[in-house]
Structure 1
């Protein structure tokens, strides 16, 4: 379902992507509507699934998570059963914070976060590589992140 966004909807989405804690009163001032219609628009954006959720962004280092990686995963066979086995297994691993089905060299790209290299190594050896359908893994440790934008551009 495509929901047609007007300029006010776009402005609401831009503001909420950058500050989800903004009050409805402040949001309404910034978009130039009274509070009631602003709230109705936000509810409509939520109901249509355009706004999926609201989050608190945490600093990994400050909560003791010092290693972040991307992992290319190749499966033993690219069929529905193997994909389901793999996805069910990784859903149970909290350190895997993203999973993307991709084209190219591997079948999936994971974003994994761990306390330290030792914890990461244990996770990969004892959990991820033990998933029965995993054929190969290629890890890339993230040394530095120079851009991590959470807001999406809104196409016209």
Structure 2
């Protein structure tokens, strides 16, 4: 797929990451092509699975979700079926912003957004602790976001 990313495709992707709602006419002007080849390149990158969709990026702060907690989760069963059950269940918790399976001293690292500590405690007690196969957890409250960014370098 790397070979399909010539400098023009990379520029198109960079512009779309910065503003997915950019009109094709303006995008074409910025990359130095006419509308039709730009639209064709975008469609090809979508069909290749390089562009997987477009979405609005909401401000968690404006929504009152100012509390960020990272959690280490250890499962009491890490066989494939247990992992699949855990993965399916955690995807259903909207407050979990990110979840990664980790190779190390714990099994999963998750990022939880909530309104405040009381809200986080409710989410942890009612949702996260009730996930299948969760054995133990450790929580780390973020004090300040120093870097939060979307992938912008193509």
Do both share a fold (TM > 0.5)? Answer: yes
Q: CA RMSD in A?
A: 1.5
Structure-1 separation of matches of 2:153 and 2:107: 27
Q: Does the residue aligned with 1:61 lie in a helix, a strand or coil?
A: coil
Structure-1 separation of matches of 2:3 and 2:123: 42
Q: Which runs of 4+ in 1 moved over 6 A?
A: none
Structure-2 separation of matches of 1:117 and 1:3: 48
Number of the residue aligned with 1:13: 13
Tell me if 1:119 matches 2:119: yes
Number of the residue aligned with 1:56: 56
**Residue 18 of structure 2 contacts residue 152 of structure 2 at CA under 8 Å; is this kept in 1?**
no
Number of the residue aligned with 1:74: 74
TM-score (norm 1): 0.91
Q: Does the residue aligned with 1:88 lie in a helix, a strand or coil?
A: helix
Number of the residue aligned with 1:130: 130
Structure-1 separation of matches of 2:149 and 2:3: 24
**Residue 14 of structure 1 contacts residue 151 of structure 1 at CA under 8 Å; is this kept in 2?**
no
**Residue 46 of structure 2 contacts residue 52 of structure 2 at CA under 8 Å; is this kept in 1?**
yes
Number of the residue aligned with 2:37: 37
Q: Does the residue aligned with 2:4 lie in a helix, a strand or coil?
A: coil
Ranges in structure 2 where 5+ consecutive residues have no aligned partner: none
The count of aligned residue pairs is 154
Structure-1 separation of matches of 2:4 and 2:60: 37
Structure-2 separation of matches of 1:56 and 1:43: 20
TM-score (norm 2): 0.93
